[in-house]
Structure 1
Amino acid sequence: MKQLHVAFIAACAIFLGACSNDTYEPREIQAETDICAICNMSITHVDYAAQSVLKNGDTIVFDDMGCLMAYREEHGDENIGASYIRDFESNAWLNIQDASYVYDSEHWTPMNYGVLAFANEEAAQAFIDETSGELLAYTDLTTFNWGVHEH
């Protein structure tokens, strides 16, 4: 009987462990239906989209990196499993903490925040060398003066 209890407890532990989500993967943006959680705009320019995957598995989507940062400032990070932004060059999803950024006030983004994400610092610097802008790391974005933007 004791072996049955041990086996039952082990099976429950395995089942509950399988239910936890330690990896948080981005999902594709549905331009027809996805709405930014901050500005309520349709996400029609998916190449600038961002998203946060919550620890409960829900995904919150944004049309601009500035909106994602506004959400994180308003709601905190404790319920966020991971956040992603589109790479400006490849359109691949990048973890926001691993990406390098360029701020260029003259570059259009959906909410005119002017922040672009790149897979690495070299790619970001190459963009700056060809155009203009300021190189930023994720930690810079947490204290960045995002300003007020018209929706």
Structure 2
Amino acid sequence: MKKILLNLLTFSIVIAIIVILFLALGTQEGARYVYKGNKAHQAVEIKPKEYQCSECNMNVEKLEYAAQIITENGDTYFFDDIGCVVLWLKSHKVPIVKILTQTLDTHKWIEAEKAWYSRIAPSPMGYGFAAVESHKTDLIPYNEMKTLMLQGKNLHDPFVKKKLLGE
């Protein structure tokens, strides 16, 4: 009987410690995925770790790879990688006004459809796509990037990675 009570007590203490840790690590606001009220439909200036990616839940840290989707009602969704935007759009049907992305070359927010994309960038999710404003050799347009992402032809595919990076 003592052994059972001792095991129960130990189990209860472990559960209590886990609960306390979760409560201590949480924030009062919780996860932040959406900025509401962007009626001007302009890029929302953010700081690293201020928002989380609406697709993969990672913190948006490397702003040079960040992207935003702005909806008709002024909701702005944030993404840590343009590949996450493509995946999110596949499963969410919302009236979109703009898709914006940061650029590596000018560090400006521009419309994703007007950007050119590298296929070998060290993007946060490892897809390899990164936006630039000025067209250069070996860059692809948005629609091609989107198609390749939906087909899984990004750096997660070992054959694509070997072809592009020689690894």
What is the TM-score of this pair, normalised by structure 2? 0.63
Alpha-carbon distance in structure 1 between the residues aligned to 2:118 and 2:73: 31
For residues 5-49 of structure 1, give each alpha carbon's deviation from its aligned partner in whole angstroms, at most 9, with x where no partner exists.
Answer: xxxxxxxxxxxxxxxx5x621111232320000110011111111
State the alpha-carbon separation in 1 of the partners of residues 125 and 65 from structure 2.
Answer: 10
**Does 1:92 find its partner at 2:96?**
no
Aligned length: 115
Query: Within 1, Cα distance between the matches of 2:147 and 2:123?
Result: 20
RMSD (Å), alpha carbons: 1.9
Q: Which is bigger in relative contact order (C-alpha 8 A, separation at least 6)?
A: 1
Report the counterpart of residue 73 of structure 1 in structure 2.
Answer: 90
Q: State the secondary structure of the residue aligned to 1:144.
A: helix
Task: Name the structure 2 match of 1:42.
Answer: 59
Which whole-Å deviations, capped at 9, do the CAs of 1:48-93 have from their partners, x for residues lacking one?
11110111001000000100111111114x5111011111112101
Aligned to 1:117: 131
Hey, what does 1:5 align to over in structure 2? none
Check if 1:138 corresponds to 2:154: no
Aligned to 1:29: 46
Q: Return the alpha-carbon distance in structure 1 between the equivalents of residues 130 and 49 of structure 2.
A: 23
Partner of 2:12: none
2:99 is the counterpart of 1:83: yes
Q: Which runs of 5+ in 1 are unaligned?
A: 1-20, 126-133
Contact kept, 8 Å, 2:68 with 2:101, in 1: the verdict is yes
Bigger Rg, which one: 2
**Cα distance in 2, alignment partners of residues 72 and 45 from structure 1:** 21
Distance 1:145 1:31, change over 3 A: closer
CA contact (8 A) 2:86 2:149 kept: no
Q: Do the aligned partners of 2:105 and 2:134 also contact (CA within 8 Å) in 1? A: no
Deviation at 1:96, TM superposition (A): 0.5
